[in-house]
Structure 1
Amino acid sequence: MELDLIKRVYFIGAGGIGMSALARYFKKRGCLVGGYDKTRTVLTSHLEEEGILISYVDELSSLPAGFEVTAADTLIVYTPAIPKNSVLLNYFRDHGFNLQKRSQVLGIISKGQFCIAVAGTHGKTTTSSIVAHILTDTGYGCTAFLGGIATNYQSNFLLGDNNVVVVEADEYDRSFLTLHPDIAVITSMDADHLDIYGDAAQLHESFQLFAKQLKPGGTLFFKDGLPIAEGITYGSDTTATVQALNIRVEQGSFVFDYQDEKVSITDIPLMLPGKHNVENATVAIAVAIRLGIDPVKVKAAVANFKGVKRRFEYVVREDKHIYIDDYAHHPEELRACFHAVRQLYPDKKMTVVFQPHLFSRTRDFANEFAEVLSTVDSLLLLDIYPARELPMEGINSEFLRAKLTLENSGVYSNEEVLKYVKENQPELLVTVGAGDIDTLIQPLKNILTNV
């Protein structure tokens, strides 16, 4: 489907972070945009405020005028997380509408443009957001579709006036194979989504196929040590071509030096903590340097990047209490998060509230989760967030807790978590997870700040 022919777009699952960015894009293009999601959220409310027609009922009667009849200029975008028995999804399928997944639509949009695609089982949202910020802040410009709300812009979508587009290349459901980037980044390839891939080998195969999707003359950056045959390596190890050096903490913030084969930038301050985020910033800098952006401007842009909502986000930062919220939901993401916390606050006891995400992920990585969760001082486990899955017999948060070596741990309801925090007033609180744990953020903040 040609981009210029699209005049009406309907989103099934409009409230997803990636879907909502696309909705904003088509609205900016002057299209009639509508959508459905099962629950009203802050994100869908913002879409409504921007003039996008959102309904919360999976019924034909909820369709806005203009979407009832098949037309060549109408595009239906859906998320794989939508149940197969969805009334709206099946109506559009049965009546011959043009249905595309989000990743396919990104392929349509990026076709004919200079595409920068960031892939990885973790790190892609932060890395793509830093890339988009550098390009925007330096005046180079870009249109960006992000998997999180960039704090500098309070949005997951940036609209530029050039032909450069920055996208997250999602490995779930092999979605990233619809993209053909000019510059590609692979941040990580840890085993995940085994409900889709079966094993790590098949996941690696998909990333290797993505690496071959580059346009002729394109550039691939990948984290040093990943099983990729060709490209430019980056990392904080001396074997990488693009390196983060002299990483240190100064006055509560991370500072590092950048070095590649031609360019050196010293004393770069980064608001985001942790070696993993330094490496994310390093490859973002490499992308900007590859585009010919002045290193002085790049350094200034990195220094004023404020991060992404729910990616090591400070909710409370006071002498009495530190409260950090993070989207981490894979063992390696938790490990990186906790390591960064320990580096910044080595003398404080860490209380963690964790919501496991997906029954299958909890089952597949139970031992790894148990190992990393046992390194905190106190752990409050919430029930597993099912997302797209049905319950699995014997797989629950108590199953995970039983594998821990940490005595100070237990399974709690939301209400019990709030009561615990009110009674114990932890000096260092971290909430982690990818489900609806974010609904606890404001109540917890209120408790710790005595609102």
Structure 2
Amino acid sequence: MSFLTNLKGKDLFLVGIKGTIMAPLAVRLSKMGIKVSGCDSSEHFATEEVLKEGAIEWFEGFSPNLIPANSDLVIYSAAYSNTPFIEEVKKRGFETLSHPHFIAKISETIASYGVSGTHGKTTAVGALETMLPSALFIYGSHLQGENALSAPIEPKLTFIEACEYRDHFLLYSLQGALITTIDWDHPDYFKGERETVDSFKRLVERLPQGAPLVCGGDSPSSRLLIEWVKEERQDLPLVTYGVEEGSDYHLKMGRETYTLEPLEGSFKAPFNSLHLTLNVVGSALLASAITHKENLPHFLELGATFPGCKGRFEHLFDEDGVTYIDDYAHHPNEIRAVIEAIRRSYPKRRVVIIFHPHTASRTKAFFKGFVEELSKGDLLLLRPIATSARSDGEDATHLSQELASALKAPLFVTREELIIKTGELLQRGDLCVTMGAGNNYQVGAAIAHHRRSLNG
């Protein structure tokens, strides 16, 4: 009997329930017959809509008194580990698990596959949900569209967004993995490229003999891992893909289609984006490896129907001649990929970017990269660096000012000032792209509302 089956009919309480992984997980667990409630801060998050649609009850604030006395298990976001709140919850006798440890418990009793990589793992899991919809999916988003969150009553297969931060993915018992790409990120934890690659090596070391491993091969760090796998884990059926020469599957991107050598013919691209299409290809290769290799064209065709994930190159709406787009890109390489996709999809249109940096440590470590990539927009407006539940010891206020100065871009301390100024600057034909962390996606709707008020 699986860990999840044993939880049916029991009461779970999720601390940090509005988190990007926690909220979709709460809804999926509820649909599997598990009672779920939780708590979080009063700050508004996009995931509140997910919780409302799933009829999940949650409370504002962090107090042990909010936890129902009959709760069988308290699951808390890793951001709240070692906090006085969680310590008090444990003292009161509640059984507790961090959300990575909870996911690890699931992976111990259900055949589970990890989707990892510095960029693209969320999109790749979403693509797999289109290809193998009968599985359980645990990741930090959900498919775009209505009724996007589903869950099987008795899952036989699970796909997990396996994040490298603090080596969380080493907790999971995986039967195989997709590693989309590797770059240095999370500088508050990893000191550089070598430490990042070493973390992924440890992930691969834990895979059982004969486990399928699919790796994107375009970044230098990815190639370092691939060479190591070929030397140290020859028992793994490794498959590589990418746009660079030397991969097992070589992608060439057209405008609406792509080819994937050595396969014959072309395939419809779900997006006019090389980055997103690569993620779909990686997902199809993993799905094919898990089932039957001759099914690869079938999964690529299913990938063409992938609607995309919430907050990933998401077309929000069009109003008064302006197109509003949102993307979670918060690393220079992700920003580059989004701007390239925008230029391909909307040629000759002015690109207005509203960027919300995520964590001071990342901004400091990749400062030059942020300046280089954000400069590729036509008009840039900055928000102060978004703070995180994890403390990284950097001066976010000073760094925000430095970034604005280097980019010669206005920095808007208040949301209201940003909305008013952007509303004045936008012209018909513009693309208004909210990019980065926090609740930046909400700004687009507020700007459109302000423009309506200006037009009477």
TM range (shorter): 0.7 to 0.9
Within the alignment, does 1:145 sit opposite 2:138 as a pair?
Answer: yes
Asked whether the 8 Å contact 1:323–1:429 carries over to 2, the reply is yes
- Point out the structure with the larger strand share: 1
Q: Which residue identity lines up with residue 410 of structure 1 in the other structure?
A: P
Sort the Cα spacing of 1:97 and 1:130 in 2 relative to 1 into closer, same or farther, 3 A.
same
Structure 1 residue 221: Cα displacement: 0.8
Task: Give 1:31-430 correspondences, 5 Å limit.
Answer: 31-39=34-42, 41=45, 43-44=47-48, 46-47=50-51, 50-67=54-71, 74-82=72-80, 84-87=82-85, 89-136=86-133, 141-152=134-145, 154-155=147-148, 158-159=151-152, 162-225=155-218, 226=222, 227-228=224-225, 229-230=228-229, 231-245=238-252, 247-249=253-255, 254-260=256-262, 264=263, 266-290=265-289, 291-292=291-292, 294-295=295-296, 297-317=298-318, 320-389=321-390, 392-393=394-395, 395-404=398-407, 407=408, 409-412=409-412, 413-426=414-427, 427-430=430-433
Structure 1 residue 34: Cα displacement: 2.3
The runs of 5 or more residues in structure 2 that have no matched partner are 230-237
Q: 1:120 & 1:374 partners in 2: Cα distance?
A: 26
Structure 1 residue 112: Cα displacement: 3.2
Structure 1 residue 319: Cα displacement: 9.3
Q: 2:14 & 2:354 partners in 1: Cα distance?
A: 33
Q: 2:153 & 2:418 partners in 1: Cα distance?
A: 43
Sort the Cα spacing of 1:97 and 1:160 in 2 relative to 1 into closer, same or farther, 3 A.
closer
Q: 1:97 & 1:217 partners in 2: Cα distance?
A: 40
Q: 1:306 & 1:61 partners in 2: Cα distance?
A: 41
Q: 1:448 & 1:280 partners in 2: Cα distance?
A: 36
Q: Deviations over 1:46-89 (max 9, x none)?
A: 4356453321132233222403xxxxxx32211122274443x1
Structure 1 residue 355: Cα displacement: 0.5
Give TM-score scaled by structure 1 length.
0.87
Q: 1:318 & 1:34 partners in 2: Cα distance?
A: 37
Q: Which residue identity lines up with residue 268 of structure 2 in the other structure?
A: P
Q: 2:49 & 2:68 partners in 1: Cα distance?
A: 17
Structure 1 residue 237: Cα displacement: 2.2
Structure 1 residue 95: Cα displacement: 3.7
Give TM-score scaled by structure 2 length.
0.86
Q: 1:106 & 1:153 partners in 2: Cα distance?
A: 26
Sort the Cα spacing of 1:153 and 1:175 in 2 relative to 1 into closer, same or farther, 3 A.
farther
Q: 2:141 & 2:68 partners in 1: Cα distance?
A: 28
What is aligned with 1:71?
A: none
Q: 2:213 & 2:398 partners in 1: Cα distance?
A: 39
Secondary structure at the aligned position of 1:401 is classed as helix
Query: Which of 343-352 and 387-396 deviates more?
Result: 387-396
Secondary structure at the aligned position of 1:180 is classed as coil
Structure 1 residue 448: Cα displacement: 6.4
Sort the Cα spacing of 1:13 and 1:48 in 2 relative to 1 into closer, same or farther, 3 A.
same
Structure 1 residue 331: Cα displacement: 0.8
Q: 2:437 & 2:99 partners in 1: Cα distance?
A: 20
Sort the Cα spacing of 1:94 and 1:319 in 2 relative to 1 into closer, same or farther, 3 A.
closer
Secondary structure at the aligned position of 1:332 is classed as helix
Q: Deviations over 1:333-381 (max 9, x none)?
A: 1011111112233322221110011111111111111111122221100
Sort the Cα spacing of 1:233 and 1:45 in 2 relative to 1 into closer, same or farther, 3 A.
closer
Structure 1 residue 443: Cα displacement: 1.6
Q: Deviations over 1:173-223 (max 9, x none)?
A: 211001232220111221111112233322221111112222222111111
Asked whether the 8 Å contact 1:103–1:170 carries over to 2, the reply is no
Q: 1:195 & 1:105 partners in 2: Cα distance?
A: 24
Sort the Cα spacing of 1:62 and 1:19 in 2 relative to 1 into closer, same or farther, 3 A.
same
Q: 1:45 & 1:306 partners in 2: Cα distance?
A: 19
Q: Which residue identity lines up with residue 182 of structure 2 in the other structure?
A: M
Asked whether the 8 Å contact 1:148–1:309 carries over to 2, the reply is yes
Query: What is the root-mean-square deviation in Å for CA atoms of aligned residues?
Result: 2.6
- Point out the structure with the larger helix share: 2
Sort the Cα spacing of 1:428 and 1:33 in 2 relative to 1 into closer, same or farther, 3 A.
closer
Asked whether the 8 Å contact 1:17–1:156 carries over to 2, the reply is no
Query: Which of 195-204 and 147-156 deviates more?
Result: 147-156
Q: 1:271 & 1:392 partners in 2: Cα distance?
A: 40
Asked whether the 8 Å contact 2:27–2:50 carries over to 1, the reply is no
Structure 1 residue 308: Cα displacement: 0.8
Secondary structure at the aligned position of 1:396 is classed as helix
Query: Which of 192-201 and 329-338 deviates more?
Result: 192-201
Q: Deviations over 1:108-137 (max 9, x none)?
A: 11223222210011100001110121112x
Sort the Cα spacing of 1:447 and 1:296 in 2 relative to 1 into closer, same or farther, 3 A.
farther
Q: 1:29 & 1:319 partners in 2: Cα distance?
A: 43
Q: 1:191 & 1:235 partners in 2: Cα distance?
A: 19
Alignment length (residue pairs): 429
